[in-house]
Amino acid sequence: MINDKNSQKIVDIIQNWARKHSIWVLGYGTGCGAIEIPPTMTSRYDAERLGVRGAATPRQADVLLITGYLTTKTLKRVIRVYEQMQDPKYVIGFGSCTINGGMYYDSYNTIKVLDKYLPVDVYINGCMPRPEAVLSGFGQLQKRIAEGRADGAKQYKENLEWYRANQKKIIPNWVMPEYNW
């Protein structure tokens, strides 16, 4: 029954609806962006009404929220955390630093373009983005999930070699477990 094409479509719609309205966020608060998360979550902007809620570990999380710049050192941890998350999983790049390096455009130690290393679903622009922008970003992500376009995990799996080559260029001594999905 489930293999039938039409019923699979219906199941997909229901599942995507659930995924859309229940977004558990693992905040990777490396940079200054982490300070914008408390106002987003608490009384004033209350992201929980959209189903957005914090998760404690990557195993439980749906969204990896990368708030701010990533040094080569933290990139390693971010990749690790991303690979530990369960499919389906999404990445939100938060702030200018993840988009083009922001004010760290000439830093010797921070990466400039996040989507070369991880499949980013939504970028939130700004330095720093206000909570309104963050909520709008979550809205965009929900839209993508509902349309079934947020398939970063699939993309990552299919282009693993390309991502690995990029990651290993930055991290020469790669001693992490292999991603074998």
Contacts to another protein by CB under 8 A: 14-15, 18-19, 21-22, 24, 42-43, 46, 48-49, 51, 53-54, 56-62, 72-73, 76-78, 80-81, 84-88, 99-101, 105-113, 116, 125, 170-173, 175-177, 180-181
Please, which residue, 4 or 11, has the CB nearer to another protein? 11
Q: Least CB distance from residue 70 to another protein, whole Å? A: 11
Which among 126, 139, 141, 140 has a CA at the least distance from the CA of 35?
A: 126
Please, which residue, 116 or 164, has the CB nearer to another protein? 116
Which among 144, 140, 133 has a CA at the least distance from the CA of 88?
A: 144
Residue 35, amino acid: I
DSSP E strands in the chain: the ranges are 23-28, 52-54, 63-67, 90-94, 122-124
Q: Are residues 127 and 103 in contact, defined by beta-carbon separation less than 8 angstroms?
A: yes
Q: Least CB distance from residue 5 to another protein, whole Å? A: 18
Q: Least CB distance from residue 97 to another protein, whole Å? A: 11
Q: Is 96 left (phi over 0), alpha (psi -120 to 50) or beta?
A: alpha
Q: Least CB distance from residue 36 to another protein, whole Å? A: 17
Please, which residue, 4 or 80, has the CB nearer to another protein? 80
Please, which residue, 4 or 168, has the CB nearer to another protein? 168
